[in-house]
Amino acid sequence: MNLSALQVLQHRLPQAHPRVALVLGSGWGGAVAALLDPVRVPYAELPGFPVPSVQGHASDLVWGRLGPHEVVVLTGRKHTYETGDAAAMKLPLRTLREWGCEVLVQTNAAGSLRADIPPGSLMVLSDHLNLPQRSPLVGEPGNDRFVSMLDAYDPALRAQALAAAQACGSSLHEGVYAWFLGPQFETPAEIRMAQRLGADAVGMSTVPETIIARHLGLKVLALSLITNMGAGLSAETLSHAHTLAQANAAGERASRVLTAVLENLSW
């Protein structure tokens, strides 16, 4: 008998009723340690879950309790740049929706476009620019494919995140995230373009998952850990190793803020 990912999860965790889904990006992994009674299920045991190929990105689903919530964590995501498929995370997110999740909290590492948001900063997304103009909804049938992207990042959840960060003594910026397909980093000219278009940070993830989540009816909150200035804005040369090193350096604070944000979510 071929079980679906949802059936596997319901079999492994018959008592679980998670309402919050969390996707971890580079640097945010420490939040998993805050979960009580964690249960880990490798993606390889969940039919249709894509195993990421990027170093520094794990590939387990972890269920656990955090404050008043049951949270289900995707410790890694498949990026569009890995295969060209913007819908790579559709099945995992649909599975979590069907399992009962109502909120998707996303995290990522990003490059800053603003001198007043230096490396090590945290930013909550207020909006995004889908610069590649790729959609995970291409091929979806029905009129519900025409998803409104107004308030794609839920204003009430953003306000709660800002309050929770302040309560734990960490500043949290708010800004617009521009999605670049990658995997190459941006050119300095592309960084100047993104600045002129109104972006505050750039990255290679998150936007496809936000679109999928809005289509599924999930509320979305997204947080960036700034690991570097955008290309050409500082003297440093960008590399994946640099991103991971910076993400690890700031990761403890990021995870502490994330834990506080999750504990205080209500919707």
| Spatial distance between the Cα atoms of 255 and 93, rounded to a whole number of angstroms | 22
3-11, 90-98, 135-143, 198-206 -> range binding ligand HPA (CB under 6 A): 198-206
- Determine the Cα–Cα distance for residues 114 and 120; give it in Å rounded to an integer: 13
Strand 122-130 and strand 173-179: the pairing is parallel
Q: How far is the CB of 231 from ligand HPA (least distance, A)?
A: 6
Question: Cα–Cα distance between 44 and 41 in angstroms, integer?
Answer: 8
Q: Are 155 and 106 in contact (CB under 8 A)?
A: no
Q: Which of 106, 112, 120 is nearest to 152 (CA)?
A: 106
| Residues ≥6 apart with Cβ < 8 Å to 112 | 118, 119, 121, 123, 200, 201, 226, 228, 229, 230, 233
Note if 82 is an active site residue.
yes
* Residue 168 DSSP one-character state: T
Closest CB 228 distance from ligand HPA, rounded Å:
5
| 243 near ligand HPA (CB under 6 A) | yes
Out of 204, 221, 250, 254, which residue is the one contacting ligand HPA (CB under 6 A)? 204
CA 52 to chain centre: 14
Residues 163-182 that bind ligand HPA (CB under 6 A): 180
Cis peptide before 42 (omega within 30 of 0): no
The answer to the question of residue 203 lying near ligand HPA (CB under 6 A) is yes
The distance from CA 260 to its chain's CA centroid, rounded to whole angstroms, is 16
In this structure, the number of other CB atoms found within 10 A of the CB of residue 232 comes to: 14
Say whether residue 185 binds ligand HPA (CB under 6 A).
yes
Rounded CA separation 62/71 (Å): 8
Q: Catalytic: which of 4, 16, 45, 81?
A: 81
Strand partners, 122: 225
- Among 160, 156, 138, smallest CA distance to 147 is for 138
CB 91, min distance to ligand HPA, A: 24
Q: Give yes or no for residue 117 binding ligand HPA (CB under 6 A).
A: no
- Is 81 among the catalytic positions? yes
Minimum CB separation of residue 86 from ligand HPA in Å reads: 16
Catalytic residue, chosen from 108, 121, 228, 255, is 228
- Regarding 259 and contact with ligand HPA (CB under 6 A), the answer is no
Q: Is 31 a catalytic residue?
A: no
206 binds ligand HPA (CB under 6 A): no
Of 26, 108, 121, 135, the active-site residue reads 26
Which residues within the stretch 67-106 sit at the binding site for ligand HPA (CB under 6 A)? Answer: none
Q: Min. distance of Cβ 138 from ligand HPA in angstroms?
A: 23
Q: How far is the CB of 203 from ligand HPA (least distance, A)?
A: 4
Using the rule CB under 6 A, which residue among 230, 251, 253, 262 binds ligand HPA? Answer: 230
Site of interaction with ligand HPA (CB under 6 A): 109-111, 180, 185-186, 202-204, 227-228, 230, 238, 243
Catalytic machinery residues: 26, 57, 79, 81-82, 109, 204-205, 228, 240
